[in-house]
Each structure stands twice: as C-alpha cells, then as structure tokens.
Structure 1
Amino acid sequence: MDRLDFLIIGAAKSATTWLQQSLQRHPDVYMPDPELHYFSRVYGNGAAWYADQFRPPRDDLVIGEKSNSYMDTPEAAARIHGDFPNVRLIAQLRNPVERAYSDYCMLYRRGEVGREIGQYLDPRAGQGGRFLNGGLYYDQLQGFLDRFGSDNLLVLLYENIAIEPRRQLDRVGSFLGLRAELQVPPVAEKVKDKKQPLVGPEMRRWLAPFKTTVKPFRHTAAFKKARSLIAREINYATLSEDLKERLIGYYEPQIDKLGTLMDVDLTPWLQNTQIAQLPVKE
C-alpha cells in the first residue's frame, strides 16, 4: 500500500465510530467500513492483506482507517511508524471512568461478561484488563508522540463532540487538509445507544452456536421480526459511587499528566460529576 493519510486510533467507546461515519460523508475522504485492527491484532496477515482492504474509487481521495484498538496496543505505534511514518493520527478521549463503564456495558449486552461489575472495574482486583487499561491515555499516547511528534497527532475530547459536533469535525477537516467549502454535516444520531432494545446477554449466550448459521439472514424481514420479539432494554449493573471514586483515584495520576501534556484543564474528570464540556486550547 503506497499511501495512508490518517488513522483514528481510539480510544474505545469515545465516539470514534461517529467520527468515522461523519468523515465518510465527505466527498474527498475514503475509509473502509470495518475496523481492520491490522496494527493491533492481525499484523501477521501482512501488508498485502492490509492493502487489499482499501478500494478507493479515485486516486485523489484522502485515505484513512479507524481501529480503536491501536491506542491501547503497545506494539501498534511502532508498527504504524514502521509502515507509514508520515501518517496523521486522531485520538478521541473520554472521561476514563465513563469510558470503562461504557465498555463494560457493551460487553455485558454481548454476553461476554457477567453482572458482577466490581470483578471487572474495581482497581483493587489488580487485574487491569481492557476495561481499566483502556483509560491509561497518557501512557498510551507517549508511544505515538515519541515517534510521530505532536504536529501529527490531533487529540479530541468526547465531551466537546457531544456539545459541538460541527466545530470538532471542522478541526478534523483542518487537520487533514480537507476542502472547507465541501463541509458535510456530522452524523446527528447516536451511533450506538445502550438504551436501544437488544437481545439480552443470557439469550445471546444460548444463541451463540447458531450465529454463523443465521448470519446470511440478518437483514431479512423475518429475522428482524423474530429479533423484535425477544429484544428488550438491557438492565445494566449500576456503577456505584464507591466504585466510581476508586476509579477516579486510579486514573488521577494519568489525568494530571495528560492535562499537562495537552495544556488542557481535565480536572472535571476528577470531580465525580456528569461532564458537560471540557475546554480545549486551540
């Protein structure tokens, strides 16, 4: 693959899919739909496999990819730099406590984790894992900054995207050198809504052996009708104030260092309140 212009590297559960779908509306941008996870999970597939995932209709398009596993995979930064040393990087960050809980809820509704939330999110358990490690933003970004420098890394905040989506998308367009006169509206609806009725985790585990068999029928009217009969709003385990305080304490050193690095006041992330918006230095 001769050229890769940008990568959305994460973090998970921070509206990276919203950004991808918004950018895909731009006539000068090409991004493949699935998350390829090439530099994190399937690097052994080789460069030819990666190149084959990109089929831009024109040579003059700005080509990018989104995989939110790149940020929290230690090997990814070196692999990306080795293959595409001039690629531009976009990281979207979210209050790490809210990110961890959202990630837990996603896996819970998939039936991949149980209801004992403390088993997965309590820092005292000492297990780390994707839920806790996914919010260690300062450590994760250092590997990219050391190789690509700050000029090639744009950091966005989830809280600002929720309040000013147009302004944040414009920042991305400027960073990528997109033509301002071809602005497109950002995706307006929530890409993934945890309140949407879904097949419950217990039923998902029971149906798992049949997943491959029914995959070809997922978009048929009959499949959608059958799904609607068993889908329901998921009842998630509550993130208690006690557990939230422990998570804040766990992430506080990272948040302090990240705020200094970004020259942004991130103390709202430490105040155990619903975040409305965080200031960003332009």
Structure 2
Amino acid sequence: MNFSDIDFLIIGSGKSATTWLQMQLQSDPAVYMPDPEIHFFSRNYDRGEDWYLSQFDNAGLGKTIGEKSNSYLDAPDAVPLIKRHLHHVKLIAQLRNPVERAYSNYCMRFRRGELGADIESYLKPSLAGHTRLLSSGKYANYLQSFVDHFGREKLLFLFFEGVAGDPEGQMSQVRAHLGLRQYPLTSDGGKKVKDKTAPNVPAELSKRLGWMKPIVRPLRGTAPFETARGWLAREIHYPPLTDDLRYRLIDYYRPSITALEELSGQSVSHWYGPSD
C-alpha cells in the first residue's frame, strides 16, 4: 500500500452523519475504507508513514480507497500534511448546522460524563475562543484552506439535511465525485447511525464497570450482551438548548455561515433559524 493508492478523505464535520456516509461507501464492493478514524494528519503523524499505511488492508488494492477522520477539518496542521502526502486526493466535507452540531457534541460529552449540566457554561459564545466545542463549527475558515491547497474541484460540499431528506441523492453526489458507479443504499440507509435518544448505561456506572470492557468486547452485538446492557441502560435527560442561547449562537455563527454559502455556492439560509 502506498500513499498514491489512497483516493479520497472524508474530512468531517463531526456530529454530521459522516459515519452514515462511511457505512454507505463500505457497503459497495468497489470501495475499501478501514473502520476506525485514523486521525493520522491531525493527531497521529508522529507514528510515521508506515503506521498510517498499515491501517489499510492490501485487500483494498484495485478498489477506490479512502478513510474518514473528522478531526482533519479543523486541525491546524492537517491541510499541509495531507497536501504533502496526498496531493491527488479527493475530499468530502459533510456539514451540519453549527448550532445543532455544537449541541449534539455537548450532549455526547454530557452522556459520557465529561461535561456537566450547566449548558450555558459550555456553549455561550463568549467562550468560543477557548473551546473547540464552538470554534470547530466555523467551517468556512477551515474549508478555505483546503480549497486554497487542493482547488475547489477536489472538494465536495454536502449537508446533513441530505441524509434524512434525500439519502439516495446524497450518495449519488458522492459517487459522482469519486467516479463510482451507482450502488443501492443499505437496507437501513435512511436511519440514523447514532441516536442520542437511545438509552445508555449511565456514565458513572460505565466508569465503574470499565475493567470489564476488554472481557465483554467479543460479546458485543450478541443477544446476551444486548440483554444485559438493556438492564443497565437508562433514558438520558439532556439539558435543553434554550431559545435565548440558540439565538446567541446563531448570531455568533452568522458570518461563517455566509462565508460558507459563498465558498460552496449553496444556500444554507435555513440554518439561521427562527431568529430571522
């Protein structure tokens, strides 16, 4: 496996159904993608080129090969490193309303026990300069760098709404961008891959049972495992995103949304929400 064998990267954004996108591509026998997010150009570059290439199975040779690492979108050094090794690569960015993305990210970390219930202390715009939770939603700032290095034609802009509203059309755009033949969606192609409303094992209990994870990992997905997990899982009640906080976040992201529309050539005016 060589760098020249890698054809495309899904660069983000996080919490924007990029896992759905990956699963649709992996279902196509003409495509090869490794399962984990490798994060080589953003977090693991010091592991070396051989480590990166070892993440790809040689069984993928002869297929359209790519990987998904959402951290590439806003990592400061990712763009020049990608350009250095993968100057030929095609890029896909799937983006979500930045207010909804920030709230979804907050809920994920709240579910894990990483953030507390005082949502204002994590999502108020005055914190934007100090937290990636908010700053990573200023997509245009990061995507302009990709356009500058690779050219506009190498970058496909997709939007989260297309996954639920027109999943077949969404994938048709991806396949055209990658030069792939059309291929049917998976049987659950219209469903969410991850659902924050699903019951989860409470964070504190999960931490206490952490020592068991290596033991039960081979059982994941089996009926006994899912039954036991069902006994422990509870519905999670998330702190709500208030209208006042939503309006302040819309105002914070407004210049970036406008810049994204100019860069992508597509309107996302519905992201401005009820404040308009």
Give TM-score scaled by structure 1 length: 0.90
Q: Aligned match of 2:122 in 120, 123, 126?
A: 120
- 1:251-266 superposed matches below 5 A: 251-266=253-268
Using the TM superposition, name which of 212-221 and 100-109 deviates more. 212-221
Give the CA deviation at 1:127.
Answer: 4.8
Q: Corresponding residue for 2:83?
A: 81
1:184 matched to 2:184? The reply is: yes
1:71 matched to 2:73? The reply is: yes
- Paired amino acid for 2:22: Q
- 1:106-255 superposed matches below 5 A: 106-180=108-182, 183-186=183-186, 187-208=189-210, 210-212=212-214, 214-219=216-221, 221-255=223-257
Q: Corresponding residue for 1:60?
A: 62
- Paired amino acid for 1:149: G
Give the CA deviation at 1:205.
Answer: 3.6
- Paired amino acid for 1:259: E
- Is the alpha carbon distance of 1:111 and 1:263 closer, same or farther for their aligned partners in structure 2, counting shifts above 3 Å? same
- Is the alpha carbon distance of 1:126 and 1:33 closer, same or farther for their aligned partners in structure 2, counting shifts above 3 Å? closer
**Do 1:198 and 1:233's aligned partners in 2 also have CA atoms closer than 8 Å?**
yes
Q: Corresponding residue for 1:11?
A: 13
- Is the alpha carbon distance of 1:231 and 1:58 closer, same or farther for their aligned partners in structure 2, counting shifts above 3 Å? closer
Give the CA deviation at 1:220.
Answer: 5.3
Work out the CA distance in 1 between the residues paired with 2:64 and 2:194.
26
SS where residue 232 of structure 1 aligns?
coil
Q: 1:227-267, CA deviations, whole angstroms, 9 ceiling, x for partnerless residues?
A: 21110121111000011011111101101111112222222
**Do 1:30 and 1:56's aligned partners in 2 also have CA atoms closer than 8 Å?**
no
Q: 1:87-125, CA deviations, whole angstroms, 9 ceiling, x for partnerless residues?
A: 000000110000000111111111221111112111123
**Do 2:98 and 2:253's aligned partners in 1 also have CA atoms closer than 8 Å?**
yes
Work out the CA distance in 2 between the residues paired with 1:220 and 1:185.
25
What's the RMSD between the two structures over aligned residues? Answer: 1.8
Which is helix-richer, 1 or 2?
Answer: 2
Using the TM superposition, name which of 216-225 and 116-125 deviates more. 216-225
Work out the CA distance in 1 between the residues paired with 2:98 and 2:190.
24
**Do 1:32 and 1:65's aligned partners in 2 also have CA atoms closer than 8 Å?**
yes
Work out the CA distance in 2 between the residues paired with 1:174 and 1:136.
27
Work out the CA distance in 2 between the residues paired with 1:216 and 1:116.
37
Using the TM superposition, name which of 159-168 and 264-273 deviates more. 264-273
- Paired amino acid for 2:17: A
Work out the CA distance in 2 between the residues paired with 1:149 and 1:14.
23
Work out the CA distance in 1 between the residues paired with 2:150 and 2:71.
18
- Paired amino acid for 1:265: S
Which consecutive unaligned segments of at least 5 residues does structure 2 have? none
SS where residue 272 of structure 1 aligns?
helix
**Do 2:128 and 2:135's aligned partners in 1 also have CA atoms closer than 8 Å?**
no
Using the TM superposition, name which of 257-266 and 133-142 deviates more. 257-266
Work out the CA distance in 1 between the residues paired with 2:218 and 2:194.
22
Give the CA deviation at 1:217.
Answer: 4.7
Q: Corresponding residue for 1:279?
A: none
- Paired amino acid for 1:86: H
- Is the alpha carbon distance of 1:162 and 1:90 closer, same or farther for their aligned partners in structure 2, counting shifts above 3 Å? same
SS where residue 271 of structure 1 aligns?
helix
Work out the CA distance in 2 between the residues paired with 1:160 and 1:124.
31
Matched residue count:
271
Q: Percent identity?
A: 48
